[in-house]
A and B are shown apart, each in its own frame.
Chain A
Amino acid sequence: MAKSRNEKFRFRDALFEKFLTANSWFLLIILLIIFVSLVYTAWPAITQIGPSFITEDDWNPTRDIYGALPFIMGTLLTSVYALLISLPVSLAIAVFLGEFSSAGRFPRFIQAMIELLAGVPSVIYGFWGIFFLVPLVRKFQIWIIESFGLNEELIANGFGLLTSSLILSIMIIPYSASVAREVITMVPADLKNAGYSLGSTRFEVIRKIVLPYARSGIVAGILLSFGRALGETMAVTMLIGNSDKMPPGFFNPMSIFGYGNTLASKIANQFPEASGMGLSALFYMALILFGISLVINVAGRIVILKMEHKVS
C-alpha cells in the first residue's frame, strides 16, 4: 500500500534529522580524532620522556635528549612581547573606531584596512619581514653594539626574537582591536553622557567609564590575539633564526640579539628530517602547543560569553 503524504513527510523528516545529527556527530568526532591521533603518535615520547619534556632545556636528538623548554619559552616570549607591542595600537584603534567616530568615511576606511591586515597570509608577512624588517633590525642591533660597546661577536643579522615579535605584533593587532571595539561601542550612552554632563573630558570619560565597563571584552580580545600569536607558524619560522638553545629570559636586554625557536617553528623546521623518537617528540610538542592554545582560546571565548550575558 502506498504511503500517505503525511507518512512520507514524516519519514523523510526523521531521515533528515538523523542526517543532521550524524553530521554533527561527525564534527565532534573530527575533534576527537585530532586529539587521539596527536596522542597516539606522541605516545612513545610521552611515556619515555614524560613530564621532564617541559623542564628539560636541551634538545639534542643525536644523544637522545629531548627537551622542549627552549621552544616553550620561545613561544611564550614572542607571544608576550608581541602582545605588549600591539596592545597600545589595538586599544587605540578600538577607541578610535568605537568612541571617536564610528561612522564616516575615514573610520570605515581604517576599519577596512584593519580587516585587510588580518587577511594577509602569514607567508607574505614572513617574506616582507625578511625583506624589510630584518635589515632595519640589523642596523638597530649594530647600533646597539656600537653605542654600548658590547661584545663584537654578538650575532647581529636581523633575525631572531626581536624581529619575530615585531611581525607577530602586527599580525595580531586586528584580533584584539575588533573585539575591543565591539565592546566599546556597547557601553551605554547614558553612562558616558553622565560623565560629560559633569564636565569630564573625553579622555576622562574613556579612562574612567568606557574602559572599565569594557574591561572584560578587552581582556577577551587580548586572550584571542594571544592565542593567535601562540599558534602562528610561517612568519615566525622565517624570521626567528632557528636555534635550539634557551632564549634569553623575559625582558632580558639580550633578547635583542636572541635567537630561538617556537614550538610551531621547531615542528615546521624539524619535521622533514624527523623519525622515530624525534618524530614522536615533535608530536608531543604539538600536543603541548594544542593544549596551550586550547586553554587560551576557550578562556577568551568564555569571557566573551560572560560579557554577552551581562549585556543582554
Chain B
Amino acid sequence: MENQINLNPKQVRFRKILDGLFTGLVYFFAVIAIIPLFLIVSTIFKEGMQAIHPTYETEAHLESGLPAEELSLQVNSGAHYLGEVDSLLGIRGDSIGYSAKSSDIFLIEPGIVQGNLKIDVIPDKRGEATVTVYALNNSDTVGRRDYSISVNGGVFYNISTFLTRPQPPHGESGGGVANALIGTVMLIFIASVIALPTGILGGLFLAEKGRTRMGEAVRLAMEVLQGTPSIVIGLIAYTLFVNPFGGYSALSGGIGLSIMMMPIVVRTTEETLKMLPGSLKSASYALGAPYYYTVITVLLPAAIDGIITAALVSIGRIAGETAPLLFTSFGNAFMSHNVFEPIAALPHLIYNYATSAYPESQILAWGASIVLILLVLALNISSRIVSKRIGMK
C-alpha cells in the first residue's frame, strides 16, 4: 500500500529536505515577483526627476569681441543652486552676446532667444550640467558651444513649472506636462459622468433583480466588456464617434474610457449593495417608504463607501490607459479645454515621448511617468482605505 505512513528515518529526512527546498523556492519566487515593481518605481523616479527642471544660478563670463565660432564661456567656481524659476545662466551683454564685458551678469531664460543668444541646459545625473550656448543671427544658428558646469549644493526641483508648462516639441528640454495633466483630468471627468450613473444604476438593478434572465444577461455583458482588449474599445469609439463626426475629440476618448469603467462600477456597486443588511430595506418599507425613495435615502447613502471605492478603482484603471485614446482623443500639443477637439493625456504623452529618438523627450516621458504613477498610487491607496472602512476584500 503506497499510502502507508512511512517513518523510515532516511526517507523522512529526504521528505524534510524536499519540504525545505519547496519552502525556499516559494519564498524565492514570491520575492522575485515584486522585484520588478521596485525596479520600475525606482527607475521612474531616478530618470524622471531630471525632467522637473532643477534650476540653479551661476556666474558666467563671456569673452568679448570674438566671432561666434569662438564664443567662449567662463564659469566661475562657486556655482550654486537657487530656487528661482527660470533663473539660469548669468550672462550679461551689451547687445550681441559675444561682445559682453566680463564680470557682468544677467539672467537668460533657458530655451528662449534673448538678443542673439539662446541657452539650453541639460542636467546630468552626477551634479553636472551641460550648457549649450547658441549664437544666432536673425534666428539662424551661426555658432554653438557646449560647456560642462558642475553644480554644488542643494537642488530645487521645480514641480510647479513642470506641472504648468505644456509639452515641449520633440528634442527640446524644458516644458512640462500641463496639457497632458489637464487632458487626463478632463477625460476622467467625461468618462465618470457617463459611467458612474450608468454603472451605479446597473449595480442597483443587479442587486435587486440579479437572478432574473435580464440580470444574468447584464452580468454576462459586463464580464465580456471587462475582458475586451482596450484597443478594440478604442476602435469602436473611433467608428462611432470619430469617423461620423469627422475628427478626433476628447469626447470620443472619454466615451471609450467610460465603456471600460462600467463593468467595474457595476460589479462593485452590486457587491456593496448585497453586503448591506436586509433589515435596512425592510425598515424603510415598514415605515411606508416606496422603493425609489428607499433607494435614494437609505440604500445609496449606506452604500456610499462602496460606490466611492468603485469610482476610485475604475478611475485608477482608466487613468493609465492609452490604447483607447490612440484613435480617439489623439493627443494635442497645446493646452485645450474643448471637448470637441483632440486632447492630450498623460499615458498618451508618455507613449509618444518614450518612443522618440531624442533623449530630452525621453526624460520628459520619465517625468510624466512620475506624475502618472503617483496618480495611480494615490487612487489605489485611497480606494484601499475606503474599502477597508466597509470591510470589503
Contacts and interface: CB of A to CB of B under 8 A. Distances in A.
Interface string B350-368: 1100110000000001100
B290 to A, nearest CB: 4
A250 interface: no
A219 interface: no
Nearest to A5: B288
Nearest to A88: B29
Given A10-B290, A201-B18, A124 B373 contact: yes
A208 B327 CA distance: 51
B57 interface: no
B232 A92 contact: no
B236 A297 contact: no
Contact of A93 (B19, B29, B233): B29
Contacts of B214: 21, 24
Given A16-B292, A100-B26, A202-B23, A127 B229 contact: no
A193 to B, nearest CB: 15
Nearest to B202: A27
Q: Which of B34, B208, B235, B316 has the most CB of A within 10 A?
A: B235
A170 B35 CA distance: 10
A28 B218 contact: yes
B44 A93 contact: no
B19 A123 contact: no
Contacts of A110: 30, 34
A27 B262 CA distance: 9
A112 B383 CA distance: 12
B27 to A, nearest CB: 7
Contacts of A26: 198
B33 A201 contact: no
Given A10-B290, A96-B26, A268-B323, A233 B380 contact: no
Given A27-B222, A132-B39, A294-B224, A127 B365 contact: yes
Interface in A114-131: 114-117, 119-128, 130-131
B40 interface: yes
Nearest to B226: A297
The prevalent SS among residues of B at the interface is helix
A9 B284 CA distance: 14
Interface stretch (A30-38, A54-62, A142-150): A30-38
Contact of A96 (B30, B37, B373): B30
Contacts of B29: 88-89, 91-93
B293 interface: yes
A126 B354 contact: yes
Contacts of B225: 30-31, 34
Contact of B223 (A21, A91, A264, A298): A298
Chain A interface, DSSP helix/strand/loop, else mixed: helix
A65 B380 CA distance: 46
A79 to B, nearest CB: 12
A281 to B, nearest CB: 12
B326 A271 contact: yes
A221 to B, nearest CB: 14
Contacts of B19: 201-204
B33 A89 contact: yes
Contacts of B240: 33, 37
B23 A132 contact: no
Task: With a 10 A CB-CB cut-off, give which of B22, B25, B30, B372 has the most chain A CB atoms.
Answer: B30
B232 A17 contact: no
B262 A271 contact: no
Given A21-B214, A114-B34, A121 B235 contact: no
22 contacts: A9-B293, A30-B262, A38-B235, A93-B33, A115-B380, A119-B316, A120-B320, A121-B321, A121-B322, A122-B320, A124-B373, A131-B47, A198-B5, A199-B7, A231-B230, A232-B229, A267-B231, A271-B235, A289-B229, A289-B232, A293-B229, A294-B228
Interface of B: 5-7, 15-16, 18-19, 21-23, 25-30, 32-34, 36-37, 39-40, 43-44, 47, 198, 201-202, 204-205, 208, 214-215, 217-218, 220-233, 235-236, 239-240, 259, 262, 266, 290-293, 295, 316, 319-323, 326-327, 347, 350-351, 354-355, 365-366, 369, 372-373, 376-377, 379-380, 384
Given A38-B236, A290-B228, 5 more contacts: A34-B233, A37-B239, A89-B32, A123-B350, A202-B22
